Amino acid sequence: MISNSDLSGKINKDFAIFEIDENTLPLIIKEISNPDFIIILNLFRDQLDRYGEVNTIAKKWGDALKHLDGKTTLILNADDPQVAFFGRWVKSQSFIFWP
């Protein structure tokens, strides 16, 4: 990011891809208003020691996704029922379910 930015911090690229931690998705959505795409892979219980119950994280994600303006394309993992269910929670204009 730094090597592709000017002195004022403006990034000289058309896109960036970020892998973010489960608990920070709501914060990132606030900071990056209306991203073009959000890819949600899965919600596993492997982070219970840090964040509590998976359902709690899913609720936080769903609440954050509701604030998108509808232009963000959500790419959702259809193999994870909780992730696929986000398609019903948000007003995004387009969804991609895989596999």
Q: Name the DSSP class of 13.
A: S
Q: Would the pTM of this model clear 0.85, i.e. be above it?
A: no
- List the Cα angle 24/28/33 in 5-degree steps: 160
pLDDT at position 1 is: 81
Q: What's the rounded mean pLDDT across residues 48-70?
A: 79
> What's the pLDDT tens digit per position in 6-39?
999 888 888 888 888 888 889 998 888 778 888 9
Question: For residue 64, what are the contacts with CB-CB under 8 A and spacing of at least 6?
Answer: 25, 26, 29, 30
Binned at pLDDT 50, 70 and 90, residue 99 comes out as low
**Cα–Cα dist 31/73, whole Å:** 17
Q: What is the pLDDT of residues 68-91, one digit of tens each?
A: 877 888 888 888 888 888 877 676
